[in-house]
Amino acid sequence: MSGQASKIRMEIRDGAAYITINNPDKLNCLDTGMLEGIMNALDKIAADPAVRVLLFQGAGDRAFSTGANLKEFDKLDKPGIAGWIRKGHRVFNAIESMSKPSVAVINGYAMGGGLELALACDIRIAEENAQFSFPELKHGWIPGWGALSRLRRLIGESNAKKIILLGAQIDVASAMSTGLVHKVFKKENLRKEIEGITDHFKNTDPFVIEMAKNALGESQRSTFGNDILFEVLATQYSKGKT
């Protein structure tokens, strides 16, 4: 692979699909091409009955993902920003609504759009060095890929306001106590943790998992899913850049 495709690696192995955000020199920040790469990988995974679970990982030791590539974002006009928002929603909603369970394996920083990606997954496990934050308000905008509704559902309004409005950086202890992550592990136990999760899902009836996901997720999708709200967000982001 070359170019943008090399920044998103997808491997299917023994019933599990692994998507790696492969942009470690830039802390695995996400650009438009990478969002498209994730969407293409999701389409392949959804169509493969042999895949029983999907795992997201960030390349390197420093970050799961620090979110949107701000250099690319700053070059966008209002229509471009609206398209950026729609693309992120389409990708993250596809992760959240797919029948196969998804797991975010978080190391280092999970910030902004990177944390939004993790929130779209069913399960989040984190290394002891993980740090979580939404710095968007400092840049003059808000998380735009569905994080506001997902975060509030997961950890409650008060905790969500602490992270969003105060820009608080959350360590793994706080993430565990609020329910933001499901389990914390030591770096040396990474392989063991992944094997435990993949074995669980591979040994569980996929139809039962799909039914459970549908029941748990019903009426809990992102509230930012229509053109009116995309227009509002694009307008706000455009103002924030001036």
- The catalytic residues are 116, 136
Strands (E) located in the chain: 8-13, 16-21, 53-58, 63-65, 102-106, 109-111, 123-127, 131-133, 170-171, 183-185
Question: Pairing state of beta strands 123-127 and 131-133?
Answer: unpaired
Q: How far apart are CA 39 and CA 43, in angstroms?
A: 6
Q: How far apart are CA 182 and CA 194, in angstroms?
A: 13
Q: How far apart are CA 116 and CA 105, in angstroms?
A: 13
3-state secondary structure (DSSP) of residue 8:
strand
Question: Pairing state of beta strands 63-65 and 16-21?
Answer: unpaired
Residue 153 contacts residue 210 (beta carbons within 8 Å): no
Provide, for the chain, the percentages of residues in helix, strand and coil under a 3-state DSSP scheme, each rounded to the nearest 5: 50, 20, 30
Q: What is the spatial order of strands in the sheet that 123-127 belongs to? A: 8-13, 16-21, 53-58, 102-106, 123-127, 183-185
